[in-house]
Amino acid sequence: MPKKRKAKGSKAKKSVRKKVVRKKKVAQRPKRKSTAKKVKKAAKKKSKGVKAPELPSEPIGRVTHYFAKARATAFKIEREGVRLGDTLYFKGHTTNFKQKVESLQIDRQPVSQAGPEQEVGLRTRSRTREHDLVFKL
């Protein structure tokens, strides 16, 4: 028996077997119940930051640059002076810490004290940002 020829222009339908995709059942997590203890615990964790000490009315300086690799801060002294052993408080939008001055430099040269209108650098334990205020405690 001879094979049937398809006529030109006719569209032959192919039967396509569709794959059935079955979704896996996912176990639903139980809903958490909010308790007063959990809320209090979360509030305590959030407020672990350093409480601001009583600050003088005016800052002694303002941060001009932070060197991330050296973890050092440069700031310009606007009034008073700074010596080794002084305690400085850095306050800004996201900055809030105090630190004792253990190293002090002017133009990469170690010094023991610095006066007004000088720009000094010191190592800090935390990041500071430009325009953060520096207070002397």
Q: What is the pLDDT of residues 60-104, one digit of tens each?
A: 999 999 999 999 999 999 998 999 999 999 999 999 999 999 999
Domains and CATH numbers, the chain: 79-136 (2.40.30.10)
Looking at residue 36, its pLDDT comes to 61
Q: In what helix (H) or strand (E) does residue 133 lie, and over which residues does it extend?
A: strand 133-136
Q: In angstroms, how far is CA 112 from the centroid of its own chain?
A: 32
**Residue 87 corresponds to which tokens in the numbers above?**
């305690």
Q: In angstroms, how far is CA 30 from the centroid of its own chain?
A: 33
pTM, full prediction: 0.60
Q: What is the mean pLDDT of the chain?
A: 81
Looking at residue 12, its pLDDT comes to 57
